[in-house]
């Protein structure tokens, strides 16, 4: 791959508490992510995987260390500047879907474009295109309560990609789904990675879901225990 890495992290630490109550969530993490990668982040509870995702998503800041996103040193940005980075360059997918219950699938997908100030006509076209990519155009006018869990997560994926982000951060995206729906969601995400070139970092505790990624990074006790490229498997 050419050009600067999408993400470059050096010596990252995160300390919570003070004195007797000090707890290191991250202990000197180094990681590089290049454009187009699909990475699964694994590890037991308390290993640091959620902390690193919050920092990479510009939702939290490290105690020490360097984090460069798209070539920009994030540590030097204020809260508003980090919010702009999130809004314009990142997409988020959550375990709980986080859809607005009283609005339609289409309106949920349009929401990030409203924040960006995109005109209504363009919002509609782009949101319908995003729903089409996840196979839900026919459900555009349905509210979340009228959709299955898998369909709700596909709406959430459409919302994440509608701004055309360079990077999607997914936190246990199949955690609330049965195995069949989980495989459907992972197939959608893998297809978006391969056909749209969207980079994906996904936290998961499920080895079967991690098999859909091309690279698996495992955290233990605030450090990266392993970082491996995955061999082709049944998920491919």
Sign of the Cα torsion 108, 204, 36, 11 reads positive
Alpha helices (runs of H) in the chain, residue ranges in sequence order: 49-56, 79-89, 105-115, 120-133, 149-161, 179-191, 207-210
Whether the predicted pLDDT of 231 surpasses 50 = yes
Whether the predicted pLDDT of 234 surpasses 50 = no
**Per CATH, is 7-229 categorized as 3.40.50.300?**
yes
Residue 210 · residue 40 · CB < 8 Å? yes
Residue 179 · residue 146 · CB < 8 Å? no
Q: What is the pLDDT of residues 203-226, one digit of tens each?
A: 999 999 999 999 999 999 999 999
Domain range list for the chain: 7-229
Give me the pLDDT at residue 2, please: 46
Alpha-carbon span 46 to 26, nearest angstrom: 10
**What's the whole-model pTM score?**
0.90
Give me the pLDDT at residue 88, please: 87
Q: What is the pLDDT of residues 8-48, one digit of tens each?
A: 999 999 999 877 788 999 999 999 999 999 999 999 999 99
Listed residue (134, 136, 112) closest to 123, CA to CA: 112
Give me the pLDDT at residue 1, please: 41
Q: What is the pLDDT of residues 124-165, one digit of tens each?
A: 999 999 999 999 999 999 999 999 999 999 999 999 999 999
Give me the pLDDT at residue 235, please: 54
Whether the predicted pLDDT of 232 surpasses 80 = no
Q: What is the pLDDT of residues 79-134, one digit of tens each?
A: 999 998 888 899 999 888 899 999 999 999 999 999 899 999 999 999 999 999 99
Q: How many residues does the chain have?
A: 236
Alpha-carbon span 233 to 109, nearest angstrom: 33
Alpha-carbon span 144 to 194, nearest angstrom: 28
Q: What is the pLDDT of residues 166-196, one digit of tens each?
A: 999 999 999 889 999 999 999 999 999 999 9
Give me the pLDDT at residue 20, please: 76
Question: Strand 64-69 relative to strand 7-16: parallel, antiparallel, unpaired?
Answer: antiparallel
Q: What is the pLDDT of residues 38-82, one digit of tens each?
A: 999 999 999 999 999 999 999 999 999 999 998 889 988 899 999
């Amino acid at each position: 791959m050419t050009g600067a890495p999408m993400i470059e992290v050096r010596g990252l630490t995160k300390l919570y508490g003070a004195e007797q109550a000090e707890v290191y969530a991250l202990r000197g993490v180094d990681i590089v992510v290049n454009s187009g990668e699909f990475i699964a982040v694994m590890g037991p509870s308390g290993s640091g995987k959620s902390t690193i995702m919050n920092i990479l998503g510009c939702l939290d800041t490290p105690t020490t260390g360097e984090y460069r996103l798209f070539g920009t040193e994030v540590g030097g940005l204020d809260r508003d500047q980090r919010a702009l980075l999130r809004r314009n360059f990142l997409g988020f997918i959550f375990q709980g879907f986080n859809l607005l219950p009283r609005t339609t699938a289409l309106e949920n997908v349009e929401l990030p474009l409203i924040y960006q100030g995109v005109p209504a006509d363009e919002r509609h076209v782009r949101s319908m295109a995003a729903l089409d990519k996840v196979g839900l155009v026919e459900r555009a006018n349905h509210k979340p309560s009228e959709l299955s869990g898998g369909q709700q997560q596909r709406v959430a994926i459409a919302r994440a990609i509608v701004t055309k982000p360079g990077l999607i951060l997914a936190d246990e995206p199949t955690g609330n789904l049965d195995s069949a729906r989980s495989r459907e969601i992972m197939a959608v995400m893998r297809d978006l990675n391969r056909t749209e070139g969207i980079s994906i970092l996904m936290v998961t505790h499920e080895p079967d879901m991690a098999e859909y990624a091309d690279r698996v990074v495992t955290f233990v006790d605030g450090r990266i225990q392993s970082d491996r490229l995955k061999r082709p498997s049944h998920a491919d």
